[in-house]
């Protein structure tokens, strides 16, 4: 490990000093002079016609400044969707409007009916309760299959039905039917990837501010991508040109995807601040977050695998219903399609793969990307299916996977993506070692002696990260570019400020990004400061999601730093009266090859800003460069995970005894941060596998609306992890050779857990093929007892 | 929360007087009431905090050997101070919620609220304890009257709970995965004149005595005495976390474990 704090060093996270001493500056820490407070009146029914919203008495209550309803937003744009999916017939998806405040109808628990702005939060809440609302209840559409029945109530009256799109991708019908017709064995599995609530530690907050003297609006918000919010809100909702709109996302306490999207509350606060000429602040409570933050997953899938007589995979077919909820959030249509269908081949060379996804509107909170976004759903169904196939065929689950691995790269899958590099046997070799597979049978006997059933589960995963080539994304319906930007500003005395369009909300960018620059320049990372999260300070950037920050944002920083080095060498060559081609940069010193001439980094930077002795005829003064990096492909992190569980046959309770993760992330900048990302991701995956479940009843009421009923994983629910990322095949197309590690843990872990539970039950003689997540004690007991 | 008056008297008499006001509400450790107020689900005119009343705090032993726990005693105090005399009770208290809950929440607050998934009601009922209030003494068998229902009158304050100390006892809890309240909790207490078994978390009617198990264990205090036994699923809670059948099954399992662990 390098000791100098450059690439590969496990440098402690510099931002943690701030976070751990209470010095972080989160959006709710920001308070403006003269600020007013917002309380939203939210629907307590899932579906209904708004007959009356009478704000008269409420408006007269103490402290109330103004009450807004849907009428105030009639001339204002709705919340836009950033991705248009084209269906199997070449038609665009059905795309309903999402008003800032409800107009005519409410469509889910938590839908926004009115917003009270008052002098204090308590006054705003008091007035919100005093608003008289009459709602004519309509039948709630909750179950996706029922939503698609011809006589189902429509969530959106102006759409044809509740089907957003019916999308087919991959191999054509002839290829798929050919594969299944000649199969020696077909394994079929129906499963649910349950809905989850993201629950970042920091709830959402928005503060709108307006300066009348300059006609400038500012939004402070808990966002993963401030520029995207500026573009979506400015251009599509409020009609504010970008030079009159600033979006600031300061310290953000976790996002997990749910802070990617542009939310109505952001538009409301910005709108109201301008209308009232006062700063307007909204802070979500945890209860409000349960019914207003976009939720995750929620797929129901039937998947089929065709194998030949030698156990080679010859065909894979899936049929998925994906819940959109009541409205389309920013990237929601892309999650079950391009972030899910394109990964359906997994690590395997199945020649025919076809994916069918029908996206459905229901009277539930909208669903969008949540850590992994589509890729966990793909991985879960495929890896559960392969496990079932292995059991049916009496094959070893590891050998069956190995037999079907893609081994030659680049490899183009039947679902359109091209894996540039990988070594799936390599990660499996590592896993077999760190999971101590050889010792399992003894551990199983020990468990049995204690009256417990022990199970071992394994799975592989692949993900597409580093979203992504703009030209490709555009062809697939994305309404944005997905490059990233960076400006590297070198100060006269040698220190640097790196301005990145990536946004850190827990990932440790302030530590790892400077490591890249320090490594390239041969200087100490403490000379480098990272700036992010403010559209007035950074170049147009696309933010952080899809494990893209290092592979795309880091590559932009790399390119900008290359430009800095090139210019600095010119200056150094002038100072040393040498040829530019002979100048070398090492350890922060410029020297001329083969001579004892050298100048220090600081001499060059000073010369750039005090250009007394300077080649002004050739180059400009100053040392500041910007680069935009648009990747040529996704990156493809992959790995193999193993889990061991003990099941208590009397209660059905599952305990995770060990968890091992062998990942290939390509090159690693900071191994400690990578370990942390994997740990957190596995924790989230174990949460999904064993605990978390967002449940609505048939009337659309949310049954799991607080932590009393929504089970988040806690420290004692998870084991110590064995994490290894030594099997590395560097990405071939970005300059750092990195792939991204933020989502792997959440993608790769749920199938290993469920595979292990099924294995444990089988070892106890229970003929259980599958249990839907969360694999709770009650569900395990019911499966064991056919209850 | 809505606005309310606040009083913190230092005697039971003053607290009872303050609670005489209409819509006044006693505040113990606040582990249920404060979240309820924050959610605007209650609107008391006045909160009367019992936390300043020294006479209802602490653990002591009565002349007849009973363990007396003041109504205002926190779970953390019971966990440490009842350990020598009634280890099963101390263990129960030491496993309620988390350290923050245990250092604020009180036994009086818990049994006055009578949450159907709370731990303490099972100990009070299985021990045949006496609930002492500022007005009277109430036998445990008469005290618990259903979900969040007790024999307490408006404004009546739990000043003490007197636990006859059993020869052997244990409380075992199977946790609901989200709240970590009892999905099923069973308190087994063996006395010279018989065994009492109280079950919390499971029933739609709140804590109850499982009389079939009591009879079986009174003749043979061993886990095997309960083999194959479970209460009827009828009337058990059925929710996100488990069906009535599952809860009924768990009562049997957890009761056997409690007997095995009893000391």
C-alpha A236/C-alpha A216 separation (Å) is 17
CATH number at residue A98: 3.90.1170.50
User: Residues B59, B158: one domain?
Assistant: yes
Give the distance from residue A704's alpha carbon to the nearest chain B alpha carbon, in angstroms. Answer: 8
What tokens appear for A738 in the block? 């990195």
Give the end of a domain, one of B134, B163, B192. B163
A237 and A80 in contact (C-beta within 8 Å)?
Answer: yes
- Residue B204 CB contacts under 8 Å (≥ 6 apart), including other chains: B116, B147, B235, B236, B237
In a domain, A146, yes or no: no
Q: pLDDT tens-digit profile of A44-68? A: 999 999 999 999 999 999 999 999 9
The predicted model gives A634-642 an average pLDDT of 97
Which among A115, A21, A118 is positioned nearest to A72, based on CA atoms?
A115
Does the structure show a pLDDT above 70 at A2?
no
Please tell me the distance in Å from A451's CA to the nearest CA on chain B: 13
DSSP of A641-665: EEEEEEE-TTT--EEEEEEEEEEE-
A718-771 tens-digit pLDDT = 999 999 999 999 999 999 999 999 999 999 999 999 999 999 999 999 999 999
Q: How far is B178 from chain A (nearest CA, A)?
A: 4
Residue numbers in A near B174 (CB within 8 A):
651, 653, 777
Q: Which of A709, A774, A778 sits opposite B242 (nearest CB)?
A: A778
Using a CB–CB cutoff of 8 Å, tell me whether B228 touches chain A. no
DSSP string, A664-716: E-BS-S-HHHHHHHHHHHHHHHHIIIII----B-TTS-BS--STTTS----GG
Q: How many domains does chain A have?
A: 3
Does some domain include residue A487?
A: yes
Residue B241 forms contact with A (CB below 8 Å): yes
Q: What are phi and psi of A477, to 5 degrees?
A: 105, -5
The answer to whether residue A320 is domain-embedded is no
The residue of chain B nearest to residue A123, with distances taken between CA atoms, is B2
Contact between B242 and A695 using a beta-carbon 8 Å cutoff = no
B245 touching A (Cβ < 8 Å)? yes
Q: Does B98 touch chain A (CB under 8 A)?
A: no
Cβ distance A787 to B245 less than 8 Å, yes or no, reads: yes
Query: pLDDT at position A1, please?
Result: 42
Residue A779: closest C-alpha in chain B: B242
Note whether A599 and A699 are same-domain residues: no
Residue A250 located in a structural domain? yes
> Which chain B residue lies closest to A696 (C-alpha atoms)?
B240
Question: CB of B243 within 8 Å of any CB in chain A?
Answer: yes
Which of B146, B163, B180 is the last residue before a domain boundary?
B163
B178–A712 CB contact, under 8 Å: yes
| Whether residue B156 sits in one domain with residue B176 | no
Shared domain check, B172 and B233: yes
Residues of chain A contacting B185 with CB distance shorter than 8 Å: none
Both A652 and A750 in one domain: the answer is yes
Q: How far apart are CA A363 and CA A333, in angstroms?
A: 17
Say how far apart CA A755 and CA A659 lie, in whole Å. 13
- Contact between residue A142 and residue A50 where contact means Cβ atoms under 8 Å apart: no
Cα separations (Å) of A781 from A443, A784, B67?
Answer: 23, 5, 39
Contacts of A120 in chain B (CB under 8 A): none
A593 and A614 share one domain: yes
Domain of B22, in residue numbers:
5-49
Looking at the structure, do residues B195 and B251 belong to the same domain, yes or no? Answer: yes
Chain A, window 725-784: residues with a beta carbon less than 8 angstroms from a chain B beta carbon = 774, 776-778, 781-782
Cβ pair A781:B253 closer than 8 A: no
Q: Tokens at residue A22, please?
A: 């209470």
| Domain end call among A598, A629, A660 | A629
**A787 part of contact set with chain B, CB < 8 Å:** yes
Residue A277 shares a structural domain with residue A130: yes
Burial class of residue B151 (count of CB atoms within 10 Å of its CB; 0-12, 13-18, 19+) = middle
**Final residue belonging to a domain, choices A604, A629, A654:** A629
CB B171 within 8 A of CB B123: yes
Residue A533 distance to chain B (closest CA, Å): 33
A774 prior amide bond cis, ω within 30: yes
Give the C-alpha separation, B63 to B124, whole Å: 19
What is the DSSP code (8-state) at residue A35?
-
- Whether A623 and A638 map to the same domain: the answer is no
Rg over alpha carbons for chain A, rounded to the nearest Å, is 27
> Domain check: are A614 and A536 in the same one?
yes
CA dihedral A737, A740, A744, A746 (to 10 degrees): 180
Asked if residue B146 and residue B60 are part of one domain, the reply reads yes
Beta strands A280-283 and A205-211, pairing class: antiparallel
**Contact residues on chain B for A782, CB-CB shorter than 8 A:** 243, 246
Of B40, B243, B250, the CB nearest to A651: B250
Cβ <8 Å between B241 and A709: yes
For position B25, which CATH number holds?
A: 3.30.43.10
Whether B147 and B66 share a structural domain: yes
Q: Find out whether A192 and A300 touch, Cβ atoms under 8 Å.
A: yes
Interchain contact, B242 vs A710, CB within 8 Å: no
Judgement on whether residues B59 and B110 belong to the same structural domain of the protein: yes
Tokens representing residue A372 in the block: 């992994």
* Ranges of chain B with pLDDT below 70: none
A787 and B40 in contact by Cβ < 8 A? no
CATH number at A616 reads 3.30.365.10
pLDDT at A481 (0 to 100): 87
* Cβ contacts of B178 on chain A, cutoff 8 Å: 691, 704, 707-712
For A695, which of B179, B240, B243 is closest by C-beta distance? Answer: B240
Q: Best residue in B117, B237, B238, B246 to probe A by mutation, most A CBs within 10 Å?
A: B246
- Is residue B18 a contact partner of residue B46, using CB atoms and an 8 Å limit? yes
- Determine, yes or no, domain membership for A410: yes
From the CA of A631, how many Å to the nearest CA of chain B? 42
Question: Are B21 and B71 members of one domain?
Answer: no
Chain B residues with beta carbon closer than 8 angstroms to that of A697: none
**Shortest Cα distance, chain A CAs vs residue B176, angstroms:** 9
- Flag if B245 and A651 touch (Cβ within 8 Å): no
Q: DSSP character for A335?
A: T
The reply to whether A193 falls in a domain is: no
Q: How confident is the model at residue A4, as a pLDDT?
A: 75
Chain A closest CA to B254's CA: distance in Å? 9
Of B171, B189, B217, nearest to B129 by C-alpha is B189
What is the number of other CB atoms lying within 10 angstroms of the CB of residue A56?
A: 10
CB–CB of B253 and A776 under 8 A?
no
For chain A, give the percent of residues with pLDDT over 70.
Answer: 99
Inter-chain CB proximity A711 and B177 less than 8 Å? yes
What is the per-residue pLDDT for A467? Answer: 84
Give the number of domains in chain B. Answer: 3
Phi, psi of A529 (to 5 degrees): -115, 140
CA distance B189 to chain A (A): 23
Please state, for a pLDDT cut of 90, what percent of chain A lies above it: 97
Kindly state whether residues A638 and A625 are assigned to the same domain: no
CA torsion through residues A726, A731, A732, A736, sign: negative
B39, B40, B246 ranked by CB distance to A781: nearest: B246
**Interface contact A776-B241, CB threshold 8 A:** yes
Domain around A734: 376-468+634-784
Q: Which of A491, A558, A556, A550 is nearest to A521 (CA)?
A: A558
The residue among A629, A663, A682 that closes a domain is: A629
Q: Among A327, A318, A270, A321, which Cα is nearest to A294's?
A: A327
Same domain, A591 and A659: no
pLDDT at res. A786: 84
Per-residue pLDDT at A787: 65
Give the nearest partner residue to B177 out of A703, A776, A782, using CB atoms.
A776
Interface of A with B in 113-152 (CB under 8 A): 125, 129
Hey, which residues 251-290 in chain A have their CB within 8 Å of chain B?
Answer: 287
Torsion, CA B137, CA B142, CA B143, CA B144, rounded to 10:
170
CATH code of the domain covering residue B212 = 3.30.390.50
Taking residues A71-83, report their average pLDDT. 94
Q: Which of A125, A710, A778 sits opposite B246 (nearest CB)?
A: A778
B14 and B86 share one domain = no
Mean pLDDT of chain A: 97
* B190 and B174 share one domain: yes
pLDDT at A73: 96
Question: DSSP secondary structure string, A357-426?
Answer: EEEEE-SS--B---TTTTHHHHHHHHHHHHHHHHHHHT--HHHHHHHHB--SSSEE-TTS-EE----HHH
Same domain, A659 and A760: yes
Q: Clarify whether residues A576 and A444 are in a common domain.
A: no
Question: Would you state the pLDDT for residue B77?
Answer: 98
One domain, residues B41 and B61: no
Residue A776 tokens read as: 């709770």
Contact A712 B241 (CB under 8 A): no
User: Does A615 share its domain with A654?
Assistant: no
- The answer on B227 and B201 residing in a single domain is yes
pLDDT in tens, A291-349: 999 999 999 999 999 999 999 999 999 999 999 999 999 999 999 999 999 999 999 99
Of residues A634, A633, A657, the one with CA closest to residue A645: A657
A704 inside 8 A of chain B by CB: yes
Same domain, A692 and A595: no
Would you call A691 and B241 a contact, using CB atoms and an 8 Å cutoff? no
């Amino acid at each position: 490990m390098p000791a100098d704090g450059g690439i590969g060093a496990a440098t402690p996270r510099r931002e943690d000093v701030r976070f751990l001493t209470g010095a972080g500056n989160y959006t709710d820490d920001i308070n403006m002079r003269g600020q007013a407070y917002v309380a939203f009146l939210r629907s307590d029914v899932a579906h209904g016609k708004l007959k009356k919203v009478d704000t008269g008495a409420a408006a007269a209550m103490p402290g109330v400044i103004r009450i807004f309803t849907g009428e105030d937003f009639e001339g204002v744009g709705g919340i836009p969707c950033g991705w248009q999916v084209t269906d199997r017939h070449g038609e665009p998806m059905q795309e309903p409007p999402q008003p800032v405040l409800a107009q005519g109808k409410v469509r889910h628990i938590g839908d926004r009916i009115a917003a009270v702005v008052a002098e204090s939060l308590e006054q705003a809440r008091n007035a919100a309760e005093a608003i008289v609302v009459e709602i004519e209840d309509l039948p709630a559409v909750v179950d996706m299959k029922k939503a698609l029945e011809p006589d189902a109530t429509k969530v959106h009256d102006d759409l044809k039905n509740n089907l957003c799109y019916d999308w087919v991708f991959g191999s054509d019908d002839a290829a798929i039917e050919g594969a299944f017709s000649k199969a020696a064995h077909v394994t079929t599995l129906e499963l649910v990837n349950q809905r989850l609530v993201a629950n970042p530690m920091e709830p959402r907050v928005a503060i709108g501010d307006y300066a009348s003297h300059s006609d400038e609006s500012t939004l402070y918000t808990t966002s993963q991508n401030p520029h995207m919010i500026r573009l979506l809100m400015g251009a599509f909702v409020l009609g504010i040109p970008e030079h009159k709109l600033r979006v600031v996302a300061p310290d953000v306490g976790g996002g997990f995807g749910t802070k990617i999207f542009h939310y109505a509350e952001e538009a409301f606060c910005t709108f109201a601040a301008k209308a009232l000429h006062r700063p307007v602040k909204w802070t979500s409570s945890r209860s409000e977050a349960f019914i207003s933050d976009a939720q995750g997953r929620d797929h129901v899938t039937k998947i089929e695998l065709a194998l030949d007589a030698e156990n080679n995979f010859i065909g894979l077919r899936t049929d998925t219903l994906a819940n959109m909820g009541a409205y389309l959030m920013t990237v929601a249509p892309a999650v079950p399609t391009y972030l899910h269908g394109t990964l359906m081949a997994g690590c395997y060379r199945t020649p025919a793969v076809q994916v069918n996804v029908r996206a459905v509107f229901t009277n539930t909170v909208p669903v969008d990307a949540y850590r992994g976004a589509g890729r966990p759903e793909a991985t879960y169904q495929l890896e559960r299916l392969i496990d079932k196939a292995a059991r049916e065929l009496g094959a070893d689950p590891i050998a069956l996977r190995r037999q079907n691995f893609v081994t030659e790269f680049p490899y183009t899958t039947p679902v359109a993506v091209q894996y540039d590099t990988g070594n799936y046997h390599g990660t499996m070799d590592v896993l077999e070692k760190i999971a101590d597979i050889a010792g399992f049978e003894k551990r199983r006997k020990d468990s049995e002696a204690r009256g417990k059933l022990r199970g071992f589960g394994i799975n592989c995963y692949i993900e597409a990260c580093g979203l992504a080539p703009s030209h490709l994304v555009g062809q697939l319906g994305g309404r944005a570019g997905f490059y990233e930007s960076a400006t590297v500003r070198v100060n006269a005395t040698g220190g640097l400020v790196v301005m990145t369009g990536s946004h850190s909300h827990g990932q440790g960018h302030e530590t790892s990004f400077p490591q890249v620059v320090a490594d390239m320049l041969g200087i100490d990372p403490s000379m480098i400061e990272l700036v992010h999260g403010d559209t007035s300070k950074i170049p147009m950037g696309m933010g952080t999601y899809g494990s893209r920050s290092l592979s795309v944002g880091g590559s932009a920083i790399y390119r900008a730093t290359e430009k800095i080095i090139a210019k600095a060498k010119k200056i150094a060559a002038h100072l040393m009266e040498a040829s530019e081609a002979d100048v070398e940069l090492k350890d922060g010193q410029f020297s001329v090859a083969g001579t004892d001439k050298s100048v220090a980094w600081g001499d060059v930077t000073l010369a750039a800003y005090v250009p007394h002795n300077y080649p002004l005829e050739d180059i400009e003064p100053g040392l500041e460069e910007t680069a935009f990096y648009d990747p040529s492909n996704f990156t493809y992190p992959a790995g193999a995970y193993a889990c061991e569980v003990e099941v208590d046959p009397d209660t059905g309770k599952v305990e995770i005894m060990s968890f091992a993760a062998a990942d290939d992330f390509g090159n690693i900048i900071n191994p400690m941060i990578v370990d942390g990302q994997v740990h957190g991701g596995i924790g989230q995956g174990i949460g999904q596998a064993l605990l978390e479940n967002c449940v609505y009843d048939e009337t659309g009421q949310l049954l799991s609306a607080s932590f009393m009923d929504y089970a988040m994983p806690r420290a004692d629910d998870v084991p110590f992890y064995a994490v290894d990322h030594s099997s590395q095949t560097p990405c071939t197309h970005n300059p750092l050779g990195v792939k991204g590690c933020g989502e792997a843990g959440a993608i790769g872990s749920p199938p290993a857990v469920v595979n292990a539970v099924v294995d444990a039950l089988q070892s106890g003689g229970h003929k259980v093929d599958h249990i839907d997540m969360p694999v709770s004690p009650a569900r395990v007991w019911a499966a064991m007892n056919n209850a | 929360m809505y606005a309310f008056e606040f009083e913190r008297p230092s005697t039971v008499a003053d607290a009872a007087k303050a609670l005489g006001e209409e819509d006044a509400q006693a505040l113990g450790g606040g582990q249920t009431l404060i979240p309820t107020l924050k959610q605007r689900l209650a609107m008391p005119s006045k909160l009367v905090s019992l936390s300043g009343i020294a006479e209802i705090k602490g653990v002591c032993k009565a002349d007849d050997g009973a363990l007396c726990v003041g109504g205002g005693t926190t779970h953390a105090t019971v966990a440490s101070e009842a350990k020598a005399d009634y280890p099963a009770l101390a263990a129960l208290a030491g496993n309620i919620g988390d350290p923050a809950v245990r250092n604020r929440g009180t036994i009086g607050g818990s049994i006055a609220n009578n949450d159907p998934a709370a731990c303490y009601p099972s100990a009070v009922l299985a021990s045949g304890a006496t609930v002492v209030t500022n007005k009277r003494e109430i036998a445990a068998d008469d005290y618990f009257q259903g979900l969040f229902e007790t024999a307490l009158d408006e404004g009546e304050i739990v000043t003490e709970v007197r636990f006859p100390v059993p020869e052997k006892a244990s409380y075992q809890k199977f946790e609901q995965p989200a709240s970590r309240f009892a999905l099923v909790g069973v308190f087994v207490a063996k006395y010279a004149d018989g065994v009492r078994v109280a079950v919390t978390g499971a029933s739609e009617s709140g804590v109850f005595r499982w009389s079939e198990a009591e009879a079986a264990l009174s003749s043979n205090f061993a886990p095997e005495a309960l083999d194959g036994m479970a209460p009827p699923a009828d009337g058990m809670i059925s929710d996100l976390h488990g069906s009535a059948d599952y809860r009924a099954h768990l009562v049997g399992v957890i009761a056997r474990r409690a007997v095995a662990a009893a000391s």
